[in-house]
């Protein structure tokens, strides 16, 4: 039996669409499971960023990562943290405070209960930590007003046909307020200090994410009047800061996405996913590489 999800398409009323389809019509879909989203059709920002920073081969043939108890625990805590921050009123209904640790029959029973109820299972300490994070973030009146006011959408999934290449692209914003056209994304970080987070923007492609998500929504006729990043520190006191990016760096990210999309489209057409160039290449070295000898004058090599 297929699971039905709501889909909102420009100019149309809410309809239904199956999760199991091989492709998707352009639109905003609700309640698509995160694993179904990642394994489903279309190329995402993270896929395009991999092509941009590495090669098409790195996108097409990613390393197989085994899901362990530890990695699942980290993923569950991250999901629960998003719920606590973005849907604070639903936290205690969607997240279950389990035993002190993940051992024995108590944990097994709690896991089975959560599976039946559709809840995220956390240890007692993780649950309590999520509540602290929720309260710290929402103590900021400005952030609280954005998240708790108006008509909100949390983790909807967008799909559209890229107008230049004709390929299906997808995106999944953490949070969108339809009434004011504000998109918000939560980023956990070691430091929410402005200079530190600016480095994270460039290193992890957050500027490309803003361009990809914004262009996706606007392409479906949904306004994006602002894009905010909520930088949330991973450790106590869980300090948070709200940032927006200047248009110039967002345009840099947009060009990266456009070029990567063109490469992706070419790979799809020929079904070839190259890695590094063939043949022998000569390496280039910065001047600081030369400690014992003089660096060559520009143009000598």
Tens digit of each residue's pLDDT (9 = 90 or more) over 238-265: 999 999 999 999 999 999 999 999 999 9
Quick one: pLDDT at residue 73? 86
Q: Is 36 left (phi over 0), alpha (psi -120 to 50) or beta?
A: alpha
Domains of the chain: total: 1
pLDDT per residue as tens digits for the range 204-248? 999 999 999 999 999 999 999 999 999 999 999 999 999 999 999
User: Are the C-beta atoms of 60 and 267 separated by less than 8 Å?
Assistant: yes
User: What is the predicted pLDDT for the residue at 64?
Assistant: 86
Residue 111 lies in a domain: no
Question: Is residue 95 one of the residues assigned to a domain?
Answer: no
Range of the domain at 36: 4-64+134-269
Q: What pLDDT is stored for residue 300 in this prediction?
A: 55
52-104 pLDDT, tens digit per residue, is 999 999 999 999 888 787 888 888 999 999 999 999 999 999 999 999 999 99
Question: What's the mean per-residue pLDDT of the chain?
Answer: 90
Of 204, 251, 260, 207, nearest in space to 47 by CA: 260
Q: Domain for residue 87, yes or no? A: no
Strand order in the sheet with 175-177: 152-154, 175-177, 182-189, 226-233, 240-243
> Is residue 73 domain-resident?
no
Q: Half-sphere exposure of 260 toward its Cβ, with a 13 Å CA cutoff?
A: 29
What pLDDT is stored for residue 71 in this prediction? Answer: 82
Give the pLDDT mean for 190-204.
Answer: 97
99 lies in some domain: no
- Do the bridges between strand 4-8 and strand 15-18 make them parallel or antiparallel, or are there none, so unpaired? antiparallel
The CATH number of whichever domain residue 47 belongs to comes to: 3.90.320.10
Answer with the residue of higher pLDDT: 31 or 107: 107
The yes-or-no verdict on residue 189 having pLDDT over 50 is: yes
Residue 238 gets the label, from left (phi > 0), alpha (psi -120 to 50) or beta, of: left
Q: Is the pLDDT of residue 16 over 50?
A: no
Confidence of residue 299 (pLDDT cuts 50, 70, 90): low
Q: Is residue 250 part of a domain?
A: yes
In a domain, 58, yes or no: yes
How distant is the alpha carbon of residue 214 from its chain centre? 13
Mean pLDDT of 131-155: 94
Residue 245 within any structural domain of the chain: yes
pLDDT at 286 over 80: yes
Spatial distance between the Cα atoms of 131 and 110, rounded to a whole number of angstroms: 20
pLDDT at 301 over 70: no
Question: Given this model, what pLDDT does residue 183 score?
Answer: 98
pLDDT band at 18 (very low <50, low <70, confident <90, very high): very low
pLDDT in tens, 108-133: 999 999 999 999 999 999 999 999 99
Structure confidence at residue 72 (pLDDT): 85
């Amino acid at each position: 039996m297929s699971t039905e999800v709501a889909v909102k398409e420009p100019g149309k009323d809410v309809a239904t669409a199956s999760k199991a389809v091989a492709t998707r019509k352009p639109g905003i879909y609700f309640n698509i499971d995160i694993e179904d989203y990642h394994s489903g059709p279309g190329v995402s920002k993270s896929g395009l960023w991999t092509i941009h920073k590495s090669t098409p081969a790195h996108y097409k043939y990613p390393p197989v990562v085994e899901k362990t108890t530890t990695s699942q625990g980290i993923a569950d805590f991250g999901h629960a943290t998003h719920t606590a921050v973005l849907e604070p009123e639903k936290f205690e209904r969607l997240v279950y405070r389990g035993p002190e640790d993940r051992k024995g029959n108590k944990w097994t029973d709690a896991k089975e209960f959560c599976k039946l109820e559709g809840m995220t299972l956390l240890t007692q300490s993780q649950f309590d930590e999520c509540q602290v994070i929720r309260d710290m973030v929402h103590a900021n009146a400005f952030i609280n007003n954005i998240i708790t006011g108006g008509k909100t959408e949390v983790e909807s999934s967008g799909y559209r046909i890229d107008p230049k290449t004709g390929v299906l692209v997808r995106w999944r914003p953490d949070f969108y307020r339809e009434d004011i056209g504000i998109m918000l994304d939560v980023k956990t970080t070691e430091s929410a200090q402005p200079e530190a987070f600016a480095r994270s923007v460039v290193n992890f492609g957050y500027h490309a994410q803003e361009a990809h998500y914004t262009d996706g929504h606007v392409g479906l006729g949904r306004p994006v009047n602002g894009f905010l990043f909520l930088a949330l520190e991973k450790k106590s006191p869980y300090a948070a800061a709200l940032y927006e990016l200047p248009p110039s760096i967002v345009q840099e990210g947009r060009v990266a996405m456009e070029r990567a999309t063109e490469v992706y489209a070419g790979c799809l057409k020929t079904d070839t996913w190259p890695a590094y160039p063939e043949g022998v290449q000569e390496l280039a070295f910065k001047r600081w590489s030369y400690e014992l000898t003089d660096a060559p004058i520009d143009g000598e090599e």
